[in-house]
A and B are shown apart, each in its own frame.
Chain A
Amino acid sequence: MGVNSYFANRQGFFATKLSTLVNGVTNWGRENSLWPYPFGTACCGIEFMGVVSNVHDISRFGAELVRFSPKQADLLVVAGTITHKMAPVLQRVYDQMLEPKWVIAFGVCAASGGFYDNYSVVQGIDRVIPVDVYLPGCPPRPEAFFEALTMLQKKIRDEKLDAHEFARVPQMAHER
Chain B
Amino acid sequence: MSAILDAIRAKFPAHVMAVHDRLGQETVTVGADGLRPLVEWLRTPEGGSYEFLVDLAGVDGMNLGWKTHRFEVVYHFRNMENGRRLRVRAALPAVDPHLPTVSDLWRCANWFEREVWDMFGVRFDGHPNLKRILTHHRFVGHALRKDYFVKDQQWLDDGAESLMDELGDYGENPDDGGFSELVPVNIGPAHPATHGTLRILAKLDGETIVKAVQEIGYLHRAFEKHSEVGTWTQVIPYTDRLNYCSAMLNNVAYCAGVERLLGIDVPERCQAIRVIVGEMSRIIDHLVCIGAALVDLGALTNFWYAFAIREKAYVALEGLCGARLTSSYVRIGGVSDDLNPAFIEQVRDFCRELPKAVDDILGLVKKNRIFLDRVVGVGIMPRDEALSWGFTGPCLRASGIGYDIRKAEPYSGYDRYDFSVPTRTEGDTAARFFVRFDEMIESMRIIEQALDKLPSGPVFSTDRRVVPPAKTDVYKNIEALMNHFVLVYDGIKVPKGESYMATEGANGELGFYLVSDGSGRPYRVRVRPPCFPIFGALPRLVEGSMVADAVAVLGSLNIIAGELDR
CA distance A39 to B240 in the complex (A): 21
Given that A46-B325, A47-B325, A80-B219 are contacting pairs, would A53 and B244 also be in contact in the complex, using a CB cutoff of 8 Å? no
Asked if A54 contacts B325 (CB within 8 A), the reply is no
Minimum C-beta distance from A110 to chain B (A): 12
Asked if B307 contacts A120 (CB within 8 A), the reply is no
- Residues of B168-197 contacting chain A, CB below 8 A: 189-192, 195-197
For A98, the chain B residues whose CB sits under 8 A away are: none
Interface size class of B (residues with CB under 8 A): 35 or more
Whether B220 sits at the interface, judged by CB under 8 Å, is: yes
Whether A87 sits at the interface, judged by CB under 8 Å, is: yes
Task: Encode contact with B along A85-120: 1 for CB under 8 Å, 0 otherwise.
Answer: 111111011000000000000000000000111111
Asked if A83 contacts B155 (CB within 8 A), the reply is no
Asked if A43 contacts B222 (CB within 8 A), the reply is no
CA distance A45 to B194 in the complex (A): 12
Asked if A54 contacts B308 (CB within 8 A), the reply is yes
Partner of B191, one of A49, A68, A90, A172: A68
- Residues of B315-329 contacting chain A, CB below 8 A: 324-326
Task: Encode contact with A along B463-506: 1 for CB under 8 Å, 0 otherwise.
Answer: 00000000000000000000000000000000000000000000
Asked if B562 contacts A120 (CB within 8 A), the reply is no
With both beta carbons as reference points, the residue of chain B lying nearest to A92 in the complex is identified as: B159
For A89, the chain B residues whose CB sits under 8 A away are: 159-160, 189-190, 218
Whether A84 sits at the interface, judged by CB under 8 Å, is: yes
Partner of B226, one of A68, A86, A116: A116
Binds A, one of B52-60, B63-71, B143-151, B206-214: B143-151
Given that A119-B151, A138-B326 are contacting pairs, would A87 and B191 also be in contact in the complex, using a CB cutoff of 8 Å? no
- Residues of B223-272 contacting chain A, CB below 8 A: 225-226, 237-238, 240-241, 244-245
For B158, the chain A residues whose CB sits under 8 A away are: 88
Asked if A118 contacts B221 (CB within 8 A), the reply is yes
Asked if A87 contacts B155 (CB within 8 A), the reply is yes
Whether B358 sits at the interface, judged by CB under 8 Å, is: no
Partner of A119, one of B148, B197, B292: B148
Partner of B155, one of A47, A141, A172: A172
Minimum C-beta distance from A56 to chain B (A): 8
Whether A24 sits at the interface, judged by CB under 8 Å, is: no
Whether A42 sits at the interface, judged by CB under 8 Å, is: yes
Task: Encode contact with A along B402-440: 1 for CB under 8 Å, 0 otherwise.
Answer: 000000000000000000000000000000000000000
For A174, the chain B residues whose CB sits under 8 A away are: 155
Minimum C-beta distance from B481 to chain A (A): 29
Whether B531 sits at the interface, judged by CB under 8 Å, is: no
For B153, the chain A residues whose CB sits under 8 A away are: 84, 119-120, 123
Asked if A55 contacts B307 (CB within 8 A), the reply is yes
For A139, the chain B residues whose CB sits under 8 A away are: 324-326
Partner of B220, one of A85, A88, A172: A85
CA distance A42 to B247 in the complex (A): 13
Known: A85-B160, A116-B221. 5 other contacts (CB 8 A): A54-B304, A88-B158, A119-B149, A120-B220, A174-B155
Show 20 A/B contacts (Cβ-Cβ < 8 Å), sorted by A. Answer: A39-B196, A40-B195, A41-B218, A41-B219, A42-B244, A43-B325, A53-B303, A53-B304, A54-B307, A55-B308, A84-B155, A85-B220, A89-B218, A118-B150, A119-B152, A119-B222, A120-B135, A120-B153, A139-B324, A141-B324
Q: Give A residues with C-beta under 8 Å from B.
A: 39-43, 45-47, 49-50, 53-55, 68, 80-81, 83-90, 92-93, 115-121, 123, 138-139, 141, 172, 174
Q: Give B residues with C-beta under 8 Å from A.
A: 135-136, 143, 148-160, 189-192, 195-197, 217-222, 225-226, 237-238, 240-241, 244-245, 288, 292, 303-304, 307-308, 311, 314, 324-326, 561-562
